[in-house]
Structure 1
């Protein structure tokens, strides 16, 4: 459970969450007219901050890594594997996740950086999330592919308009096999069989195309 979202700058209003469903609403003044909107008040940015702290890809100049947010660091306080921890990610150093709290039993232990702040790099933090949130800890299957923390989190953190066009996918051009695999995993079904079936089907279609070419 996410408990708090905060930042290192005074202008940011700390957000606290309670158990159960939490709704983020924008206030409208009594003088607001029909043409007044609730855009640009931070609702989508809050989702982006949560995604940022959960290890999203952050290219320079995009999202939270714009010039206006240089020097900012965002912190997510949450319960992970039954322990309360806080993870902080800075916009100028997105490859490091500072960790506070108990990390007993984690597959990777936070290690100090140059500033002696304990934390994890992006790959290890995503591995911890995969283990804690989705129970993924074993090596990849023989197929060489399996659902990841980031691909699964994208089903819950839908921060693009296209992610709401269909419930079973989180972007418009998502491959059919990818949709089937991830939904099988989230429903507790045997996702490896789904992947195996899709690979066999792909190989069969490929063989048919080759036969047509050489006939």
Structure 2
């Protein structure tokens, strides 16, 4: 048997060396594999973070595009609403008429006036009326203005200097109204128009 070992010692040594090298290779490969797995997990985490950031950017860009498109629609919408303002003596009201060709939706009117005969007392009237079609009107009652005019004209007519001022200088009651009309277009975009109107 020793003869057999002597004859095959080189082969046995080669086989033993192969087994040891294989085991060492497996161990080394296993350690390297765990290290590479950890690196891959780290890379996957980094990539997932980048994907999430790209999704956030895409969502932000989508939102920005929608806002820009909405602003463009708002600015280029062909909505034609114009307002004419007048005074209706019988109703003691400021009357606003939609002289445009489109409907004004959810109309609200704010009228501000300083009444000269009341020591400069400020008057504010707010009216919400809903939709006003083309050619339609909104009446904002301001009865305080009529009472104020009667008071001022009565004071002027009641004394000689006041009568002189009325006849010679055209002095009489004057009130200036600042009017803000707010409405929405057919697309739902808000619009505001500021108007001035004087009544004497």
Q: One fold, TM greater than 0.5?
A: no
User: The TM-score by the shorter chain falls in which range?
Assistant: under 0.3
Identify the structure with the greater helix proportion: 2
Question: How does the TM-score come out when normalised to structure 2?
Answer: 0.23
Question: How does the TM-score come out when normalised to structure 1?
Answer: 0.22
Q: Higher relative contact order at CA 8 Å, sep ≥6: structure 1 or structure 2?
A: 2
Rg larger for: 2
Identify the structure with the greater strand proportion: 2
